[in-house]
Amino acid sequence: MALPFQTLSTRIPRNTTPLHSPPRVNRALASRKRAALVAASAMYGSAADGAHKRKLQPLPHVLTVAGSDSGAGAGVQADIKACGALGVFCSSVVTAVTAQNTVGVQGVHVVPESFVEEQLRSVLSDMDVDVVKTGMLPSIGVVKVLCDSLRKFPVKALVVDPVMVSTSGDTLSAPSTLSGYRDQLFAMADIVTPNLKEASALLGGAPLKTVYDMRDAAKSIYNLGPRHVLVKGGDLSDSSDAIDIFFDGQTCHELRGSRVKTRNTHGTGCTMASCIAAELAKGSAMLQAVQEAKAFVESALHYSKDMAIGNGPQGPFDHLFRLKSPHYNVGATPRFNPDDLFLYAVTDSRMNKKWGRSITDAVQAAIEGGATIIQLREKEAETREFIESAKACLEICRSSRVPLLINDRVDVALACGADGVHVGQSDMPARTARELLGPGKIIGVSCKTPAQAEKAWADGADYIGCGGVFPTTTKEDNITVGMEGLKAVCLASKLPVVAIGGIGIANARSVMEIGVPNLKGIAIVSALFDRECVATETRKLRSVLMDACSRTNLSV
Ligand X SMILES: Cc1ncc(CO)c(N)n1
Residues of this chain that bind Mg ion (CB under 5 A): 167, 234
Query: Catalytic pick from 71, 180, 257, 267?
Result: 267
257 is a site residue for ligand ATP (CB under 6 A): yes
Phi and psi at 262, nearest 5°, equal -160, 155
Alpha carbons 313 and 259: distance in angstroms, whole number: 18
> How would you classify the pairing of strands 89-100 and 105-110?
antiparallel
Alpha carbons 457 and 441: distance in angstroms, whole number: 15
Q: Which is nearer to ligand ATP, 268 or 347 (CB)?
A: 268
The least CB distance from residue 165 to ligand X, in Å, is 8
Query: Catalytic pick from 269, 315, 460, 521?
Result: 269
Q: Which is nearer to ligand ATP, 59 or 97 (CB)?
A: 97
268 is catalytic: yes
Query: Catalytic pick from 83, 90, 147, 270?
Result: 270
The least CB distance from residue 232 to ligand ATP, in Å, is 4
260, interface contact from ligand X, ligand ATP, Mg ion, none, CB < 5-8 Å by kind: ligand ATP
Amino acid at 325: S
Choices 146-154, 259-267, 344-352, 384-392 (CB under 6 A): range interacting with ligand ATP: 259-267
69, interface contact from ligand X, Mg ion, ligand ATP, none, CB < 5-8 Å by kind: ligand X
SS (H, E, C) 66-119: EEEECCCCCHHHHHHHHHHHCCCEEEEEEEEEEEECCCCEEEEEECCHHHHHHH
CB-neighbour burial class of residue 380 (10 A; exposed 0-12, middle 13-18, buried 19+): exposed
Alpha carbons 351 and 372: distance in angstroms, whole number: 20
269 is a site residue for ligand ATP (CB under 6 A): yes
The least CB distance from residue 436 to ligand ATP, in Å, is 18
435 is a site residue for ligand ATP (CB under 6 A): no
Among 301, 362, 394, 410, binds ligand ATP (CB under 6 A): 301
Strands of 398-462, DSSP E: 404-407, 420-423, 442-447
Which residues, including other chains, have CB under 8 Å from residue 406's CB and lie 6 or more apart?
Answer: 375, 376, 390, 412, 413, 416, 418, 420, 421, 422
Q: Rule CB under 6 A: which of 186-205 touch ligand ATP? A: 195
The least CB distance from residue 293 to ligand ATP, in Å, is 7
Are 460 and 261 within 8 A, CB to CB? no
380: phi > 0 → left, psi -120 to 50 → alpha, else beta; which? alpha
Alpha carbons 102 and 100: distance in angstroms, whole number: 7
The least CB distance from residue 318 to ligand X, in Å, is 16
Among 244, 248, 292, 340, binds ligand ATP (CB under 6 A): 244
91, interface contact from ligand X, Mg ion, ligand ATP, none, CB < 5-8 Å by kind: none
Choices 183-191, 255-263, 474-482, 521-529 (CB under 6 A): range interacting with ligand ATP: 255-263
Residues at the contact surface with ligand X, assessed by CB under 6 A:
66-67, 69, 74-75, 98, 100, 135-136, 163, 166, 172, 267, 269-270
Distance, CA of 415 to chain centre: 24
475 is catalytic: no
**Of 298, 221, 224, which is closest to residue 256 (Cα–Cα)?**
298
90 is catalytic: no
73 is catalytic: no
Q: Which residues pair with 158 in a beta bridge?
A: 132
Tell me whether the omega of the peptide bond preceding residue 84 falls within 30 degrees of 0, making it cis: no
**Chain residues in the site for ligand ATP (CB under 6 A):** 74, 167, 195, 232-235, 242, 244, 257, 259-260, 265-270, 272, 294, 297-298, 301
Catalytically active residues, by annotation: 232, 265, 267-270
